[in-house]
């Protein structure tokens, strides 16, 4: 029999749908009966208002406005819902009715098989005697996991699934039974309910379970409460998030009682906020506090040795900068506490850039800052107040033969005042005029594949500070690098200054092609006519600096490498660092090495030489392996090591981690941590299982 195509409009066979919409009917055979029925058979397809129905036979009763359908039946809607059945009775809008022997597939992820499915309008579907899973179902073998229930209600508006009289089965074996269970459907992004639980084990805290509960508090805010109970501690973690029209805030906090610090409530808070307050101004808020120095590290929240709280208002435009900040710092290690860093710092600065009448660019700026220490300790309790003003002018032009000339001139004015200091008792004023000229000669060559650029560079400069001496507090840790090789001032802050004539030479080479290959090498050193107070490992201590060698390599396959070293004249190394990285669809790897000479100014009594690595490899569609570590070459001991194993298929994701910290302090002992999490895929808008496309084998 040839296939007939008929377009049945509501005017001929009215289905009486809302807004008088038309339905399209395709079938091998269509006939009308005297009792006002329409019979369609043989590869029947009906399309109505975004919903497609396929069946073997359909009978439409115009008197009752109802469809009787014989299967196999397939109904797909424009929201991604798929429904199959062997027999059904539906209204003409395909919205209400009963389906027997039905299977409901949500978002191509979660499938619900039921003896009967009842559609109650466009937003609610009820299923009876249900088995639900996102695992592949092959033959008669039980899926890896499934949920059986007497009844399941799918609220499509709320995007929630409600289970009644529920059993959770693992390979067909019942594991746990619950009278009620609510889960988000696969299209849900935010819904109140339990999140993935996690089992943790720690040498000091013991074995425990963390069970986070997410609360949707309107469309713009939510709260996550996570009890964490172990053999020796009880912890309550909290995360609060809220979005405003012009900003966001997030608060993370925890409170614990344990046997490590008995009879004391241990806690921490980390609050962050960012707001657009208008006219391009941004307000940043930060609050960090902890009850004791060992809490963050023992519970795995942070390994920071310093906490900062601040309020900052800033505006950054192409031609101007302005910011004001008040910060409070608290130290968590005895080393920092003994050095007595300033707990309270205030800073305001403003800068303006504009085109100069003489050509080039002019910049003027001002700064006001204060450093306040509380109390008197064995170290200095000095308070410092500083006002600075500066003006600079720079210009660049191209001379004959392609020589690039850069010139810079400027003046810095500083006024310092001191309090609670027996050495610096009177205000100090300083003035620093300075100037510099830099010559670059880029030479380019275009090859058949690669482009090469060689650039020799030389700079000559001078500056001198007139006025009294001041203590150097903000420029202690300064070193020679690619950013300041040709800089007129190499100190990191305002307190330190360079005097007299100086210069620098360098040679840079870079090569690249259109396929993503790029490499750059730089070598150079600086010269001075007078000595300056740089530290021993800075590379700038002598009149002739150490040689700076730096390079970077990037390949099209995702591999990259970078390194930098300060080499002395005797070829020994003052500082060195190197990093390699490789990232693609299967591999994410980084490894780094660092070497630092002993330097009393920077707080190192012995050399630092260590390497770190962090990487993960997707072995196949199911398995992922990860590892990280830090090894101290000087002591020949590992400082930290960790491994992770991940396994997932189309319906479940399992992560197992182990982390060992070998170092100890006065407040924290070496510890080993284990973590285990199991996630059932298919609920909520989480990741789709990587093996979702696997097929069943005979």
pLDDT tens digits, one per residue of 342-362:
788 999 999 999 998 778 999
The angle subtended at Cα 463 by Cα 486 and Cα 540, nearest 5°, is: 50
SS3 readout for 23-50? CEEECCEEEECCCCEEEEEEEEEEEECC
Long-range contacts of 562-569 (CB under 8 A, 24+ apart): 564/481, 564/482, 566/479, 566/480, 566/537, 566/539, 569/544
Which of 372, 367, 381, 386 has its CA nearest to residue 427?
386
Q: What is the CATH number of domain 5-193?
A: 2.60.450.10
Alpha-carbon distance 288 to 307, whole Å?
6
Q: Is the separation of the CB atoms in 366 and 386 below 8 Å?
A: no
Using pLDDT thresholds of 50, 70 and 90, give the confidence band for residue 328: very high
Query: Residue 339: helix, strand or coil by DSSP?
Result: helix
Using pLDDT thresholds of 50, 70 and 90, give the confidence band for residue 3: very low
Q: What six digits make up the tokens of 459?
A: 């700079």
Question: Could you tell me whether strands 110-120 and 124-133 are parallel, antiparallel, or unpaired per DSSP bridges?
Answer: antiparallel
Query: Residue 120: helix, strand or coil by DSSP?
Result: strand
Q: Which residues of 590-611 are buried (b: 16+ CB within 10 A; e: fewer)?
A: ebbbebbbebeebeeeeebbbe
pLDDT tens digits, one per residue of 40-72:
888 888 887 778 888 888 888 888 888 888 878
Using pLDDT thresholds of 50, 70 and 90, give the confidence band for residue 306: confident
Query: Residue 335: helix, strand or coil by DSSP?
Result: helix
Q: Is 596 left (phi over 0), alpha (psi -120 to 50) or beta?
A: beta
Residue with the two structure tokens 């707001």:
275
Q: Which residues of 2-38 are buried (b: 16+ CB within 10 A; e: fewer)?
A: eeeeeebeeeebebebeeeebbebbbebbeeeeeebb
Does the pLDDT at position 379 exceed 50? no
Q: Which residues of 272-299 are buried (b: 16+ CB within 10 A; e: fewer)?
A: ebebeeeeeebebebbbebbebbbbbbb
pLDDT tens digits, one per residue of 556-594:
888 999 999 999 999 999 999 999 999 998 999 999 999
pLDDT tens digits, one per residue of 253-297:
999 999 988 889 999 999 999 999 999 999 999 999 999 988 998
pLDDT at 669: 74
ω before 72 within 30° of 0 (cis)?
yes
**Average pLDDT of the segment spanning 8-34:** 59
pTM passes above 0.75: yes
Q: Is the separation of the CB atoms in 122 and 96 below 8 Å?
A: no
Which of 174, 227, 177, 176 has its CA nearest to residue 197?
227
Q: Where are the chain's structural domains?
A: 5-193
Does the pLDDT at position 17 exceed 60? no
DSSP 481-529: -TTTTT-S---SSSS----EEEEEEEEEEEEE-TTS-EEEEEEEEEEES
pLDDT tens digits, one per residue of 414-440:
999 998 888 888 999 999 999 999 999
Mean pLDDT taken over the chain: 86
pLDDT tens digits, one per residue of 669-681:
788 888 988 888 8
């Amino acid at each position: 029999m040839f296939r007939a195509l008929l377009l049945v409009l509501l005017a001929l066979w009215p289905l009486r749908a809302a807004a008088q919409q038309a339905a399209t009917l395709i079938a091998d055979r269509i006939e009308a009966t005297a009792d006002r029925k329409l019979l369609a058979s043989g590869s029947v397809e009906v399309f109505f208002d975004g919903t497609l129905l396929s069946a073997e036979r359909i009978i439409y009763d115009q008197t009752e406005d109802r469809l009787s359908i014989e299967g196999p039946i397939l109904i797909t809607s424009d929201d991604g819902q798929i429904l199959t059945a062997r027999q059904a009775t539906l209204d003409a809008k395909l919205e209400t009715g009963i389906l027997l022997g039905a299977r409901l597939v949500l978002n191509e992820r979660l499938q619900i098989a039921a003896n009967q499915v009842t559609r109650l309008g466009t937003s609610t579907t009820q299923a009876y005697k249900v088995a639900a899973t996102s695992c592949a179902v092959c033959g008669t073998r039980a899926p890896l996991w499934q949920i059986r229930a007497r009844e399941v209600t799918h609220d499509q508006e709320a995007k929630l699934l409600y289970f009644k009289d529920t059993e959770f089965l693992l390979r067909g074996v019942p594991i746990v039974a619950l009278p009620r269970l609510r889960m988000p459907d696969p299209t849900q992004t935010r819904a109140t309910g339990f999140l993935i639980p996690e089992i943790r084990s720690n040498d000091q805290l013991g074995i425990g379970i963390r069970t986070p509960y997410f609360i949707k508090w309107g469309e713009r805010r939510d709260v996550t409460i996570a009890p964490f109970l172990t053999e020796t501690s009880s912890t309550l973690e909290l995360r609060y998030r809220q979005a405003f029209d012009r900003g966001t805030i997030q608060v993370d906090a925890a409170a614990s009682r344990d046997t490590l610090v008995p009879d004391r409530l241990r806690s921490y808070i980390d609050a962050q906020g960012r707001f657009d307050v208008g006219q391009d101004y941004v307000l940043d808020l930060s609050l960090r506090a902890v009850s004791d120095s060992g809490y963050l590290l023992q519970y795995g929240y942070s390994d920071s040795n310093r906490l900062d709280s601040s309020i900052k208002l800033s505006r950054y435009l192409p031609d101007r900068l302005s910011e004001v900040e008040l910060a409070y710092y608290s130290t968590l290690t005895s080393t920092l506490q003994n050095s007595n860093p300033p707990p309270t710092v205030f800073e305001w600065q403003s800068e303006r850039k504009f085109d100069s009448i003489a050509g080039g660019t002019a910049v003027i700026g001002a700064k006001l800052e204060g450093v306040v220490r509380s109390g008197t300790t064995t170290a200095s309790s000095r308070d410092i107040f500083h006002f600075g003003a500066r003006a600079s002018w720079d210009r660049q032009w191209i001379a004959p033969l392609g020589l690039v000339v850069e010139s810079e001139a400027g003046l810095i004015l500083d006024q310092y005042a001191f309090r609670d200091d027996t050495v610096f008792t009177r205000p100090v004023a300083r003035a620093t005029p300075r100037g510099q000229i830099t010559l670059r000669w880029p030479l380019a060559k275009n090859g058949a594949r690669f482009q090469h650029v060689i650039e020799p560079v030389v700079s000559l400069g001078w500056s001198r500070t007139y006025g009294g001496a001041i203590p150097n507090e903000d420029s202690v840790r300064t070193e020679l690098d690619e950013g300041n090789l040709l800089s007129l001032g190499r100190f990191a802050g305002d307190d330190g200054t360079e005097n007299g004539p100086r210069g620098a030479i360098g040679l840079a080479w870079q090569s690249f092609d259109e396929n993503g290959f790029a490499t750059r090498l730089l070598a150079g050193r600086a010269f001075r006519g007078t000595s300056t107070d740089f530290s021993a490992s800075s590379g700038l201590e002598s009149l002739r600096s150490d040689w700076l060698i730096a390079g970077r390599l990037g390949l099209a396959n995702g591999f990259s490498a970078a390194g930098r070293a300060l080499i002395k004249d005797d070829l020994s190394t003052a500082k060195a660092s190197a990093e390699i990285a490789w990232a693609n669809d299967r591999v994410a790897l980084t490894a780094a090495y660092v070497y630092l000479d002993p330097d009393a100014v920077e707080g190192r009594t012995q050399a630092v030489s260590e390497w770190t690595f962090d990487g993960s490899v997707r072995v196949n569609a199911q398995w992922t392996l990860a590892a990280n570590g830090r090894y101290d070459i000087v002591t020949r001991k590992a400082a930290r090591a960790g491994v992770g194993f991940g396994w997932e298929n189309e319906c479940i994701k399992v992560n197992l981690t182990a982390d060992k910290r070998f170092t100890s302090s006065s407040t924290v002992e070496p510890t080993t941590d284990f973590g285990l999490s199991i996630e059932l895929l298919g609920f909520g808008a989480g990741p789709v299982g990587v093996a979702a496309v696997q097929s069943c084998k005979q």
